Amino acid sequence: MTSQWWRRVGYAALTFIGLSASAVSYAQDQHSYARLDEISTPHLQLDINLDFAKQQVSGQATYQLQHGDNDRGVLRMDTRDLSIHSVQVELGDNWRDTDFELKAADPVLGSELVIAVPAEATAVRIDYTSAPTASGLQWLTPEQTEGKQKPFMFSQSQAIHARSWIPIQDTPALRLTYKAHVTTRDDLLVVMSAENELPVKRDGDYHFNMPQPIPTYLIAIAAGDLAWQKISDNVAVYAEPAMVEKAAWEFADTPKMIAATEKLYGPYRWDRYDLLILPPSFPFGGMENPRLSFITPTSIAGDRSLVSLIAHELAHSWSGNLVTNASWRDLWLNEGFTSYVENRIMEELYGKERALMEQALAYDDLQEDLHSLPADQTVLNIELGKRNPDDVFSQVPYVKGQLFLMYLEDKFGRERFDQFVRGYFDAFAFQSISTEQFKQYLSRELLVKYPGIVSITEVNQWLHDSGLPADAPHPTSPVFAKVDKQLQDWFAGESLHTDGWTTQHWLYLISQLPSDISLEDMARLDEQFKLTQSANSEIAYAWLRLAIQRDYQTVQPRLRQYLLSIGRNKFVVPLYSELAKTPENLAWARKVYADARPGYHPLTQSKVDQILGKPTKQ
């Protein structure tokens, strides 16, 4: 490939978002060694092999270079536990070896890779191998999959884990396009957060293209025994064969969600929107990788009651993927906007009643975090320093951020606020921005245009103060008031009338049970409604957590099975935390964890290790 080709790619990446190289403004990210004002990398060509036997990625990462005004002849990149074999730079039409140094590892940031880059170099090529322990990859044995026949691998690059499987400038301030050539076993299908053409032939040799510039944490890959089923012309589901039909039915409303969001906030700009249903060890509910959201199988309830997760990941196609937080202290820009848009999608498709129930449940979850977190961790524009950005993923950026936007909607009116949000997505499309940039846009487009409604002081209180302002929205649901009345009657000896109840009704009821509920009353509820054996992962989690708190020992076999079969952090981390509060439960939990740990994602292992200690049995 010639230097002229690289220049065309670089120009295209910048002109795609309507910016010249000199107009690009980069925020300083304390969680990356990258110095984008010196040299940046707007395009990646990834050529890798997935070796399941060795559980490693190996190959080359080739970057087009953009020399900045502060170019010092050094390219600084992020790595974690990577072996760097050689580095070359492109000078004219020739590739030449160049000096590089892999610095000592920081426990959070990993190792800085420092590469000597002459001013005339147009590209850099890094030959590397990942470690089997890469924090951003999970390699599953056949026994850990649904089908039990073939292995599986998937990535989780957010927040700063892309550096564990690609040497990269791992900051959301950078947006890059990428192409990839991936080889692996010929009986496995590989998919990426890029163009995935359907139908696809399994041959162990795959090519991908991501033409829109994305932040590095959205580079994603998975490989396994995957089937696919079409939902619409631009939506399909990938999953293991036994799961794909269930998933396609569960998420059949996805095209309607896309149409509803486009009506509210403008066009979907990523061409396709596909879903990949991962094995149960996936540590999150979903990951918004563009064109291919990664989804937990725990969202498949059989009644479409948990599809707000799909609405959330889809909403990221506007908030997060299209307009991105420039650093992890600005996470609320991704998650607060997305939680707000998610709820608007749910209202459009399923009505105000459903949307209000979900707002009220989210508010209660936020209150729990506000009471348990230190005050400085309840700030939206949080001061992270160099703490691990994974630690900032509480309900604060999600729900407090959502409430802030609901507050603005209430103050300015929905019509004005919808115009503002749509304009925001258009103004910053394919850019990474800071909270300060948001404040400037908010001031210009709402506060100044409509004076006397909301002051900058009030905005700053939301963004920079701990907790919630006194006049923050407190969503309540009249449906839940009826549940409260029924619950009172049930304790008085009457029956619960649960016909037509949804997951949200049950979650609310469990959350409202007294903290000192008797074991007799728990057994009575359990006998009537089979809560311990609920196949709904959300209801089962809420019930099992209460059972641990009340020492309702009946659940122990089910709790063990739950912890062994699900690796989603939202569920397993709080359950282990509850178990760790008494010596007897702690001893039992450690035995369960020793068996469960090999099937958990590295991120989940790290969190539970902190609670229980790393088991000696491996």
230 is in an annotated binding site: no
Residue matched to tokens 């509803």: 260
Of 332, 323, 294, nearest in space to 157 by CA: 294
- In whole angstroms, give the CA distance from residue 93 to residue 57: 28
602 is in an annotated binding site: no
* Three-state DSSP class for residue 155: strand
568 is in an annotated binding site: yes
Out of 340, 350, 398, 424, which one is annotated catalytic? 398
Residue-wise over 218-229: b if at least 16 C-beta within 10 A, else e? bbbbbbbbbebe
156 is in an annotated binding site: yes
C-alpha distances (whole Å) from 85 to each of 61, 113, 121, 577 are: 12, 12, 20, 42
Helices (H), 71-144: none
Told to judge if 600 belongs to the known catalytic residues of this protein, a careful annotator would answer: no
120 is in an annotated binding site: no
C-alpha distances (whole Å) from 491 to each of 282, 498, 516, 521, 525 are: 39, 15, 13, 8, 10
Strands 39-51, 175-183: pairing is parallel
157 is in an annotated binding site: yes
- In whole angstroms, give the CA distance from residue 177 to residue 187: 28
618 is in an annotated binding site: no
Of 306, 255, 270, nearest in space to 285 by CA: 306
Q: Are 389 and 31 in contact (CB under 8 A)?
A: yes
Ramachandran angles phi, psi of 12, nearest 5°: -65, -40
66 is in an annotated binding site: no
Told to judge if 398 belongs to the known catalytic residues of this protein, a careful annotator would answer: yes
- In whole angstroms, give the CA distance from residue 484 to residue 6: 64
- In whole angstroms, give the CA distance from residue 118 to residue 555: 64
77 forms beta bridges with: 113
- In whole angstroms, give the CA distance from residue 408 to residue 406: 5
287 is in an annotated binding site: yes
Out of 90, 112, 240, 313, which one is annotated catalytic? 313
Length of the chain: 618
- In whole angstroms, give the CA distance from residue 234 to residue 361: 32
- In whole angstroms, give the CA distance from residue 296 to residue 12: 35
- In whole angstroms, give the CA distance from residue 447 to residue 436: 15
346 is in an annotated binding site: no
286 is in an annotated binding site: yes
482 is in an annotated binding site: no
Contacts of 563 (CB under 8 A, 6+ apart): 572, 575, 576, 592, 593, 596
491 is in an annotated binding site: no
Write out the binding residues for a peptide: 156-158, 283-288, 568-570
Where in the sequence numbering do the catalytic residues fall? 313, 398
Known binding-site residue numbers:
156-158, 283-288, 312, 316, 335, 568-570
Residues that constitute the known binding site for Zn(2+):
312, 316, 335
